[in-house]
A and B are shown apart, each in its own frame.
Chain A
Amino acid sequence: MRRWLTEGFVLVIAGVVAFPLFWMVLSAFKPEDEIISADPVPWTTRPTLDSFTRALTVANFGRYFLNSVVVALIVVFLSILISFLAATALTRFRFRSRTTLLIMLLVVQMVPVEALTVPLFFLMRSVGDSVPAFGLNHLGSLVLVHLAFSLPFAIWMLRGFVAAVPVELEEAATLDGASRFRFLWQVLFPLVAPGLVATSVLSFIHAWNDFLFAKTFIISAVENQTLPLALQVFVKPDQNDWGAIMAGSTLMTIPVLIFFMLVQRRLVSGLAGAVKG
């Protein structure tokens, strides 16, 4: 009896937690007159793709979607390469200043990146003077900052995965005549893949969700905006096109949701690994 009560309660909570997402998808498929109705109902009898069409055509949502994908994928790719090398150095080698570096990695994670908008804005402005592709109004500026923000945590988290690979394996590979380079990319890299997956997901989400830096850096180049800003295009003080907003939100949420679903197990064990160090 008590278990039934607990289970009922848990299911109700699950329903409440999932409701906003349900409402988002539902509203994205509702015809416009049902959305701006004074008596909204939690179902629809006339599902339509109108809102998606409006989002993709009127607001050029496809373009922004592509921009977001490009930024996020480049960040993930670069952060995998760089953090893998750095994590290997920090776990497999003993050298002076190793502990100092580790502590700095931890501390730097706690710096509120939001506070850095002002100096980064001016930095990107000067970068843009010599390399326009990485300056203000260009996607390169977003790649740079998100790479920098995702690295400390990625390195920190990968350490545990690299450390878990037995040193004997490296010795065996060396005895078999494998070069250091081959060991690194053909033995170690595949072995830490679960850790790489977990860190890439976090880097991806970081870059994908970013609102602040996209808002700060992409000032006038409308064609280089990313999804979070595009969503803001629809939000007008009085007349919100809620249908298109919900369609856009759906398009923005689904990739992350799929990503999360695919890797949730690895993510949780990865996080636990990171917590345990």
Chain B
Amino acid sequence: MTSKGQGRTAFAYLTPALLVLAGLLAYPIYQLVLISLYDYGQEQVSGGAPLTFLGLGNYQNLLGNQQFWTVLGQTVAFAAVCVVGTLLVGAVLAILATRVRTWVRMTLFLAALGAWSTPAVAGSTIWLFLFDANFGFVNEVLGIQGFSWTFDKWTAFGLVAAQVIWCSFPFVMVTLYAGIKAIPGEVLEAAALDGASAFRTAWSVTLPLLRPIILVVTIQSIIWDFKVFTQIYVMTNGGGIAGRNLVLNVYAYQQAFAASEYGLGAAIGVVMTVLLLAITMFYLRALRRSGEVL
């Protein structure tokens, strides 16, 4: 077939996807930026007041706001704890999984599969119930009935982080396990023949071979944990008492839909998108460097 005909068929196949993506992703992204440049509140939405173009006014407002910086700091710290926790738990369990008999491994994977597939809302409520001040099983075991985990800012963050790690480590574990299993046995035998110790083999053979996979799961975890919404919203009841458990996502939502500051909410959304796209660029470069081709 001629290359022109090819192009035409390809375009026909792509049309539905392009329509959906243009209308429901590209256009909203453009709108997000646009709204963030306006003073867009309840009155403007209902048509009671004219739209005023603020330029970067919402951003200035945001950057000059102490709460924004607090929330940004909390978001980064919270994501960091979740990412490190997820990777550590996932990696340790992936390694252990290679050293046990099949039925033990299957038991672990089955449990992990359960945690993985639990919907975020359901998972959050289960954890809330387990850690409930009066009727929770955890307080019963620890003998601290009446202690509220969600009242204090840091125990609340800790509880949410634990829940996030619980439902996201399985992805890391399964992926890393598959990666370890995919390393050809001959490579490890060769290392053993050359007299490499177990530690040396792990450090100089297995780890470099796993690097691309580790990179992928790390960046994937960063992206996921940076935009946790449901867990924070459900477990701290919309961002904690006086908003002290807010992360960027929930903050943007509250500004837009609770305070009706749609312009400000959009500006927070833009900031978050830019941060995540920066991470993505890093991801793409890393993929390229590890020899992936598009």
Contact = CB atoms under 8 A, between A and B. Distances in A.
Contacts of A182: none
A93 B166 contact: no
A35 B135 CA distance: 7
B5 to A, nearest CB: 10
A10 B107 CA distance: 9
B213 interface: yes
A112 B104 contact: no
> For this complex, into which size category does the number of interface residues on chain B fall?
35 or more
A79 B227 CA distance: 24
A209 B119 contact: yes
B229 interface: yes
Interface residues of A, number: 98
B47 interface: no
Interface in B35-56: 35, 45
Contacts of B234: 211, 232, 235
B276 A211 contact: no
Contacts of B16: 81-82, 85-86
B112 A277 contact: no
Contacts of B115: 17-18, 20-21
Contacts of A35: 135
A210 B9 CA distance: 35
Contacts of A237: 237
Given A152-B21, A275-B213, A94 B6 contact: yes
Nearest to B100: A7
Contacts of B70: none
Contact of A7 (B13, B45, B101): B101
A232 B110 CA distance: 28
Given A93-B10, A108-B21, A148-B24, A6 B126 contact: no
A42 B178 CA distance: 35
Given A99-B294, A257-B114, A115 B125 contact: no
A261 B31 CA distance: 40
Nearest to B283: A110
A96 B10 CA distance: 11
Contacts of B121: 209, 211, 227-228, 231-232, 252
B129 to A, nearest CB: 5
B67 interface: no
A264 B113 CA distance: 8
Nearest to A277: B292
B20 A3 contact: no
Given A37-B135, A209-B119, 7 more contacts: A20-B127, A117-B252, A117-B257, A149-B25, A252-B121, A253-B118, A275-B213
| Across the A-B interface, the 6 shortest Cβ-Cβ residue pairs | A115-B269, A148-B24, A119-B31, A89-B13, A93-B10, A86-B17
